[in-house]
Structure 1
Amino acid sequence: MPANQSAGNELFAALYNATKNSLYHYLCTYTKDVHLVEDLMQQCYLKIWERFDQLQDYNKALPLVKTIAHHLLIDVVRKRMKEDTVWLETLEGEIENLMEAPADTSFVFLQALDKAIDRLPENCRKVYLMHREEGLSYREIAAQLSVSVSMIEKHMSKSIKLLKADLLKDYALVLAIAISMSVN
C-alpha cells in the first residue's frame, strides 16, 4: 500500500472501478452462476488488496486481476468435481446396500438410475459406462476414443452432475429409498 493510506484507498478504488465490469464479463464466460461470479470477484479483490503494495503498475492490473480470478475459479471447479465424485461413489455404495434391500426397492432405484444414464448425452454416457461399468481408467478411455484425458474428465464431470440432478429431481423416489433403508 502506498505510504499515504488515503492515496492507497483511492488507487484501489480506481483499480476496482476500472476492472470490475471487465472481470465480471470475463467470469461470466466461464459460469452463468451470478452468485459464484460475485463471490469470485470479492475473493479476487481481497487478494489484490492484501498484495496491493506489491503492485507496480496500477494502470495495467487487469491481466493480474483476471489471472487471480481464473485461479480462484479453477479451485472452485476442482472442489465441485471432487464433491460430485464423492457423491457418486457414495451413491454406488448405497446401490450395493440396496441390492440387499427388498427386491421392489432395489428394482425401482436401479430402474431410475438406468433411465438417468440413458438420458445422458451420448459422449457422456459412453465415457461414464466405460469408466464405471468396464472399469477403464481415464487414460485408457482417452486412448480408445482418441481424445485427451482432460476431455474424458469433462465428460465424467458432466455425467456425474447430470445424474445427480436427474436422480435428485425425483424426491419421492429418494425419500422412499431412504425410508426403506432405515426400516431394515
Structure 2
Amino acid sequence: MTDFETFYITWYSRAKYFAREYILSESDAENIVQDVFLHLYERRELFDAYVNLTAYLFTSIKNKCLDHLRKKVTEQEVALELQSEFEMALRMKYDSLEILNTDFPNESGIEELLNAALQKLPERCREIFIMNKLEGKKQKQIAEELQISVNTVESQMAIAYKKLREELKDCLPLFIFLFAIS
C-alpha cells in the first residue's frame, strides 16, 4: 500500500465528517472531500516531508466548504430577490386588475376613449401610430410613404406609446388586450 493510500484510508472518514458538519448535504460534503483528495493525489509529488499533509487536507476542505457555502448563500439571495420581484409583479398585476375600469356603456365608449387619447397626440405622431397600428403598415413602409427614416418612425411610435399609456392608465390593460398597445 502506498503512503497516499494509507493517508486516504486514515483520514477520509474524518475529513468527510468534518465537511458534513458545515455542509448540509451528505453528497455535497462527500464531493468536496473527494475533490480535495483528488487534488492532493494529483500533486502528491509536490509535497515533501516538511508539509503537514493533514493540516493541508483540513485547510483545503475548510476552503472548499467556504466556497460551497458562499455559492449557496448567493444562490439563496438571488432566489429570494427573484421571488420578491415575482411577488411585486404579481401584486402590481392584481392591483391593476382591481382598479381596471371595464364599465363602458358600449363599444362606442371604448372607441371614444381611444379617439380622445389619439387626438391628444402630436399630429405626426398620431399619423404614424394610426398607419402602424390601425392600418397595419410596417415601419419601413411608413418611413417610405412619409419620406422619413425608420428610426424616426420608431421614436414616434415610442412617444405615442408613452403618451397613450399616460392618457389611458386607468384602463390600459383593456386597451393592451383590445388594440395590442405594448
Question: TM-score normalized by structure 2?
Answer: 0.48
Whose helix proportion is higher, 1 or 2? Answer: 1
Larger Cα-atom Rg: 2
